[in-house]
Amino acid sequence: MKKFLLISLIAVFLVGCGNSNSGELVGVRKKTKPFDQPDPYGMVFVPMGSFNMGVGGQDFAASFLTQPKTVSVASFYMDETEITNNEYREFVNYVRDSIARILLGEVNPDKYLITKDKKGNDIDPPILNWDEKIRWNNLEDNEIEAVESMFLPEHERYYRRKEIDARKLVFHYSWIDLQAAAKKEFREGSDYHNASFADRPQGMTDRSVYIHSDDINVYPDTLSWIHDYAYSYNEPLTRAYFWHPSYDHYPVVGVNWSQARAFCIWRTNKLNDYMYKHGGLPIAEFRLPTETEWEWAARGGHQLNPYPWGGPYTRNEKGCLRANFKPLRGDYTGDGGITTIIVAHFPPNDWGLYDMSGNVAEWTSSAFDPESFNFTWDLNPDNQYNAAPTDDPIMKRKVVRGGSWKDIAYYLQVNTRTYEYQDTAKCYIGFRCVQEYLGRQKGDNPKYMSRIYK
């Protein structure tokens, strides 16, 4: 009897602790600290704002591409520089080592794979063991044979150099398209929005309609230096630009839009896997910026400025050029470079972002349409389309912004729009990532949470 009374008192005490406000609605209280999104490494915060998009330049002849429009943009983080060769190389090495661990796991699973959980249960499929380093110069005989398929075949080797076959560096990735059901309705002519949940067409209620997967080769197209300029001697850049340490901090080029998106997904998983492992919360995904986000970030919080540094001139008061581009009638060396240069060589804009104009142009997530300013919203406007390989080429156009080392000053203007096809890689196009900010403005969450977590 005494034991029963003791248990009852404990139960009443626990219930009372969980509802200490006399039945008032207080939400689900957690014993975790208030969440404040950390500043991602190498990124700067771009606060929310409203601005006149598409004005402030000199696009008179093609003004239909940049009709003035007042828009509002939510807060986000953006890489302070374009993604560099050294940063993208980490992605390539991850894919290389993932493939190697799978192959090595076939002959030595205890070393390169995790096949049991902490309770001794089988893990199927196994998890790659990243704690075990691959010592490429000290592999066992059966391991050498297992990874032989990753290297160039003997008849393709130069002076018997055993090198990784870049064609084998294929990354399998997935992404979520939250508008996929509506797009499927448009293609198939179904009445998705007006039908009840039970009456929606088969496949519209299945979550898999939102999930897409693809396989993509992640190695940059180093031959783009020759393809883009057939009658120009760019062979040294083709041979060394991506892998040589001299170019570590130069912007990566030769990456198409799909490869840039795959990099963002890999980067998201890399950080979130670390957060899960250390008991943290998942962070908002990394992705390419929308066209609107890019322009707002490039303007640095100003209105009507034609360039990230203000305007209207491309030189400062000392006569020095402010970006890496093609000035005057083609003096490529006038800005201190001849093609690309090291990132962050020129001063940043007022948000702290470097090279928003010049050096390399940048991919955005937005699909290009000359009329998109007319039909997109004024709140976080965007026009996205996931083009399939079989789609018409016009559906594969993606907005490119910022101008590059080979462009004249017109393309450096923050409102100038141009495009490239998502499956093409150029020696003058790179990219940078953004990360959504979870909240209104930086610092809001701790201020509010401190009141309710007393």
- pLDDT reported for residue 34: 65
> How far is it, in rounded angstroms, from Cα 88 to Cα 91?
5
Where do the H-state alpha helices sit in 210-301? 224-227, 235-240, 257-277, 291-299
Residue 288 shares a structural domain with residue 244: yes
Q: Which sign does the torsion angle of CA 136, 138, 140, 145 carry? A: positive
> How far is it, in rounded angstroms, from Cα 32 to Cα 123?
30
- Helix (H) / strand (E) containing 96: helix 85-105
Residue 421 shares a structural domain with residue 346: yes
Residue 188 shares a structural domain with residue 297: no
Strand arrangement of the beta sheet that strand 361-367 belongs to: 418-421, 397-401, 361-367, 429-430
Q: How many domains does the chain contain in total? A: 2
CB–CB of 299/305 below 8 Å?
yes
**How far is CA 324 from its chain centroid?**
23
DSSP string, 287-325: EPPPHHHHHHHHHTT-SS-SBTTBSS-SB-TTS-BSSSS
Instruction: Determine, yes or no, domain membership for 368.
Output: yes
Residue 247 shares a structural domain with residue 392: yes
Task: Of 303, 316, 299, 266, give the one whose Cα is nearest residue 433.
Answer: 266
Q: Which residues of 237-266 are buried (b: 16+ CB within 10 A; e: fewer)?
A: bbeebbeeeebebbbbbbbbbbbbbbbbbb
CA distance readout (Å), 214 to 71, 79, 171, 290, 354: 34, 25, 8, 22, 32
CB–CB of 410/326 below 8 Å?
no
Extract the runs of DSSP E, i.e. beta strands, from 56-119.
69-73, 76-79, 113-116
Instruction: Determine, yes or no, domain membership for 441.
Output: no
Q: Which residues contact 302 (CB under 8 A, 6 or more apart)?
A: 310, 350
Task: Of 384, 429, 376, give the one whose Cα is nearest residue 405.
Answer: 429
CA distance readout (Å), 191 to 185, 197, 316, 384, 443: 7, 11, 58, 22, 43
Instruction: Determine, yes or no, domain membership for 161.
Output: no
- pLDDT reported for residue 62: 54
- Radius of gyration for the chain, computed over Cα atoms and rounded to the nearest angstrom: 26
Residue 313 shares a structural domain with residue 374: yes
Residue 198 shares a structural domain with residue 230: no
Provide the angle, in degrees to the nearest 10, between the axes of the packed helices 257-277 and 85-105: 70
Task: Of 245, 241, 252, 175, give the one whose Cα is nearest residue 218.
Answer: 252
- Residues in the chain, pLDDT under 50: 4, 7, 9-16, 18, 450, 452-454
Instruction: Determine, yes or no, domain membership for 254.
Output: yes
> How far is it, in rounded angstroms, from Cα 384 to Cα 265?
17
Domain boundary (199, 217, 235) is at 217
Instruction: Determine, yes or no, domain membership for 420.
Output: yes
3-state secondary structure 123-135: EEEEEECCCCCCC
Residue 393 shares a structural domain with residue 335: yes
> How far is it, in rounded angstroms, from Cα 269 to Cα 264?
9
Instruction: Assign residue 281 the CATH number of its domain.
Output: 3.90.1580.10
Instruction: Determine, yes or no, domain membership for 117.
Output: no
Domain boundary (217, 250, 272) is at 217
State the residue range of the domain holding 358.
59-89+221-436
- pLDDT reported for residue 40: 92
Q: Is 132 exposed, middle or buried (0-12, 13-18, 19+ CB in 10 A)?
A: middle
Residue 210 shares a structural domain with residue 284: no
Residue 211 shares a structural domain with residue 232: no
Residue 280 shares a structural domain with residue 263: yes
Q: Is 376 exposed, middle or buried (0-12, 13-18, 19+ CB in 10 A)?
A: buried
Instruction: Determine, yes or no, domain membership for 386.
Output: yes
Residue 371 shares a structural domain with residue 292: yes
Phi-psi region of 5 (alpha: psi -120 to 50; beta: other; left: phi over 0): alpha
- pLDDT reported for residue 239: 95
**How far is CA 395 from its chain centroid?**
21
Instruction: Determine, yes or no, domain membership for 84.
Output: yes
Residue 232 shares a structural domain with residue 211: no
